[in-house]
Amino acid sequence: MANDSFIKTKRLAGISILIAIVVVLQFFSGAVKFGSFTITLALVPIVIGAAIYGMAAGAALGGVFGLVVLINCITAVDPAGNILWLANPFLTAMLCLLKGMAAGFAAGFLFRLAARKNAYLGIVSAAVICPLVNTGILIGALVLFYHDIFVAWAAGTNLLYFAIIGMTGINFLLEFAINLVLIPTIARIINIEKRNSAEYG
């Protein structure tokens, strides 16, 4: 019973630390901007949390990330996000939260699925899917719900090209590259945590 309490406390502490890291990284990333949107630096702790603590934790961390993104949109730290907020506050709030939560959940789900075959494959899969879902939902929402703004931003450029390359291309590639480069570090963190958990399991 005491052991269960210790494990729960340790899990809560671990998730709390990751939440703090997500908040700090995402507020800091408001100053880092390529293309129309600010770059996302908080996906790595989301991937770590999703892999160690599961899909629900990944979604929770993604939700915190989405909340910080929303604050940046409201305060115009993210200028493009502020345009979306002014156009439709409710939809923008839902978009910010949904894409973050979905990215975290997907990372946890794919990690669990792929790790059955190979733990390292699970980590790679989680690191890859997280930015894909985050950016994919953003692009889909812009096309479906902010079409006039999207067309105005494209300024005559082919919409598909603008969505994939011009608007989020550099940001996505940087986010993707950061995740891939840090995969060995992520793997070490996860392995250490798994070993520690096994000792108290």
Compute the CA torsion angle 82, 86, 92, 93 (nearest 10 deg).
Answer: 90
Kind of pairing between the strands at 37-38 and 33-34: antiparallel
Tell me what pLDDT residue 197 has: 62
The contacts of residue 125 (CB under 8 Å, 6+ apart) are 110, 111, 113, 114
Token couple for 46: 């989301």
Instruction: Report, as an integer, the average pLDDT of 133-139.
Output: 91
Q: What's this model's pTM, rounded to 2 decimal places? A: 0.85
Mean of the per-residue pLDDT values of the chain: 84
Tell me what pLDDT residue 166 has: 64
What domains sit in the chain, N to C, each tagged with a CATH number? Answer: 2-200 (1.10.1760.20)
**Closest of 14, 11, 25 to residue 64, by C-alpha:** 25
Tell me what pLDDT residue 187 has: 74
Checking if the pLDDT of 151 tops 90, the result is: no
Residue 129 pLDDT grade (very low, low, confident, very high; cuts 50, 70, 90): very high
Residue 85 pLDDT grade (very low, low, confident, very high; cuts 50, 70, 90): very high
Taking only the tens place, the pLDDT of each residue in 60-81 is 999 999 999 999 999 998 888 9
Question: Do 102 and 137 touch, CB atoms closer than 8 A?
Answer: yes
Q: Which is higher by pLDDT, 130 or 178?
A: 130
Tell me what pLDDT residue 150 has: 86
Checking if the pLDDT of 163 tops 80, the result is: no
